[in-house]
Amino acid sequence: MHPRLLKRPLLACLLALLLLGSAAPAWAAFSLPPLPYAAEALEPVIDGTTMTIHHDRHHGAYVSNLNAQIKANPALAGLSLEALQSRIAAFPEAVRNNGGGHWNHSQFWAVMAPEGEGGAPSAELMAAISAGFGSLEEMQAQFNQAAAARFGSGWAWLIRRPGGELAITSTANQDNPLMDLPGIERGTPLLGLDVWEHAYYLQYQNRRPDYIKAWWSLVNWNEVNRRYGEAAAPTAA
Ligand SMILES: [Fe+2]
């Protein structure tokens, strides 16, 4: 660097930032978010080995495959993960599978917490649950039914519809309620449960209903409350 620039540290910093920026790739690759707790922290409901394989290998593969798709489809570059979901119909199936897989698993880790640490539904969320289902227990029963009845692999969801009411839905494979696809009821996901066999098979084998029932003790209501508050907040004009 020119000696005169070194005497002007602010100018030198700006120049260095400009040089770094021009060398960066045209798009920022997605990255695997770390688990917000130890892999063993959800035991005995979900064992640490399942969590490690599920997060590191399955979710990790969705992220790396999605990044490969972005390289092959320049129109994807610059889209946020959320924006990608809402325009997924315009892209190849590999984008749908891996983009959905990345979004779905990112929310899955966040809506779980070690037993006893997840809090409880807020008064606002509880009021919406009571209005939509009659009670928390009835909402859980409908959610469990949707999760158990999902044939093959997929997800069960508690969503907030665009009109404000809550609903239970289910999607196949790595689809989710943000996607602009026929047959999917769209809304803001508040809570999503992974019912792929990779999520539970080591511990529960074919007993998916037992996994679903036990999973409720891991729900991070604090995060669900946050998501509901964000979805219900009036949008800025
Ligand atoms: Fe999964």
- In this predicted structure, what is the pLDDT of residue 27? 64
Q: Which residue has the higher pLDDT, 150 or 75?
A: 150
Ligand 1 centre to CA of 222 (Å) is 22
Residue 24 has pLDDT above 50, yes or no: no
Residue 59 Rama label (left phi>0; alpha psi -120 to 50; beta)? alpha
Residue 20 has pLDDT above 60, yes or no: no
Ligand 1 centre to CA of 129 (Å) is 26
> What are the tokens at 143?
């959610």
Domain range list for the chain: 46-237
125-129 mean pLDDT: 98
Ligand 1 centre to CA of 105 (Å) is 6
Q: Tell me the pLDDT tens digit for each residue of 82-116.
A: 999 999 999 999 999 999 999 999 999 999 999 99
Q: Tell me the pLDDT tens digit for each residue of 166-212.
A: 999 999 999 999 999 999 999 999 999 999 999 999 999 999 999 99
Ligand 1 centre to CA of 79 (Å) is 23
| 166 contacts: CB under 8 Å, gap ≥ 6 | 128, 129, 131, 132, 133, 139, 158, 159, 160, 190
What DSSP designation does 218 have? G
Residue 55 has pLDDT above 70, yes or no: yes
Give this prediction's pTM. Answer: 0.88
Domain 46-237: assigned CATH number: 3.55.40.20
81-108 burial: b if 16+ Cβ within 10 Å, else e: eeebbebbeebeeebbbbbbbbbbbbbb
* Backbone angles phi and psi of 156, in degrees to 5: -110, 145
